[in-house]
Structure 1
Amino acid sequence: MKSIQGSRLSPFQTKFIHRMSALCTIKHLCQATRSENKYTKRFFGILLTQTAQKWLFSPFWIVVPNLRKSAVFGLTQPFCTDEKSHAQPKRKAAFGSVGRRIPYRILHLINQEGESLGNMHRAEALKLMDQHGLKLVLLRDNVEPPVYRLMTGQQIHEEQLKRAEKKKSSPKPGVVQKELSFSSAIAKNDLETKTKQIAQWIEKKHHVKVTIRQAKGSSTDMFTLFDHILETVSEKATYLSKPKVAREGVSTCVLRHMSDKELKEHQKMEIKKNSAVKEDENEDLKSKELHQ
């Protein structure tokens, strides 16, 4: 080496030294590549053998050395062995007390009487709830800030009944709902025509919404009219939504076709009723004969 360093190198010697350096560099790169591949296989092999567990990979970048290219970048796709990890549609929460589970920091609060108390921190809302012994109910979460209300247990129960009645009276998918409205001062022949129309719709298994408006100066009870209509079509119809006051001077109900089970029960009741009426008539005849 001293003779080489002391003397001037020829072009051939210089080229030879450069080639040797390149070969040493390539050798080191190959060793590094084999080591990287070995550790990468070991890492993923451990993960893939854990099939009994349920885990989820998040997307991440990995660098794979390559002899021909300096580096190859690839984005791994999320991998999941849990079938239930797919995005589930958000279910609407049932109306009721949320307890102390409030995910929002700021909320709009309404008091027990329905008056707005404005926006406040959830800690203040919980403090008011505890002070008055009330329950906190979520009314709307699609606004900013979400709206909550302080309510008693009785108020929550009544609201749940109203919503259940409304849901029950709303027509199901595929069911046709017909509507019929008239005044409480309707003439007898017009009422008969309306009742026949209702019977035809019931026969086709449609829902029929009947609305009666209280006429000025009329003393007719609207609920009596509803009962008369149901009695006329009672062989196949029943209330889906019982008569109620929709607003001042207006009452409504919804009729539907009875199910097969309900029809059988109705026929049994009619048979019992008719037999009871016949027994009463026979007893009256016997009593008359005895008095004669």
Structure 2
Amino acid sequence: MTALCLLKLLRQATRKENRFTRSLCGAILAETPQRRILSEPSLVVPDSTKPPVLGATNPFCTAVKSGADPKRKAAFGSVGRRIPYRILHVINENGESLGNMHRAEALKLMDQHNLKLVLLRESAEPPVYRLMTGKQIHEEQLRRAEKKKASAKAGRGPQVRKELSFSSSIARNDLETKTKQIAQWIEKKYHVKVTVRQAKDSAADMFTVFDQILKTVSEKATYLSKPKVIKEGVSTCVLRHMSEKELKAQQKLEKQKLENSIPVARKDENEAPKSSELNQ
């Protein structure tokens, strides 16, 4: 009987202890979100032999804390007085090397000549800086921008290509029509591949046909790929639109030819009366 009473009392004590534990844990879990500021609650186990302890830890992150990208290339321009290196290799505004010097001496030269210091090669040992005028920096920035623009344009992919194919015995009217079509494509800056097949029982020179086409569109076009035989009886070439630089050079050449031909014509006019006088 006594044993039963003791067992009953032990069960009641165990129940009260369980209720107290549940209420305590509930209070802690209810207060934890309010106390949490930035991090999530997690179990921290400092020692495997000890029970887990409820606490807060900082989240793990591999991102670079600073906003600057270390691989980002600085823009071309004046560095002002922000020089992290003690010894520099300095080039003057005329492109002449002044040798290695202390940064204080380089800054002194910059102030004396009212110039700006520009970083050219940071990877060199020591780093290379150049003294430049504001105009020189501006011109160099424009040059680099044009180069970058041209590189981006070249990297867009292959130029659109148009193709024409016909026989070497093509009629004159048909050749003129095809040449007009080529001129329209060249005007749109397409690459035009022209293929000529040697007709049977025809002695026509396929390369002569290419020359006739190029002569007609010579104001804007030139060979991207010169005429060549790709297989027996078949020749091909690729025409392209000339660049602005090529167009200016061609216009300059034509102007020179015109100027050189004018004195010859005037000389012939002056010599004509003399020959007539001799006949009299």
TM over 0.5: no
TM-score (norm 1): 0.42
- The TM-score with structure 2 as length reference comes to 0.44
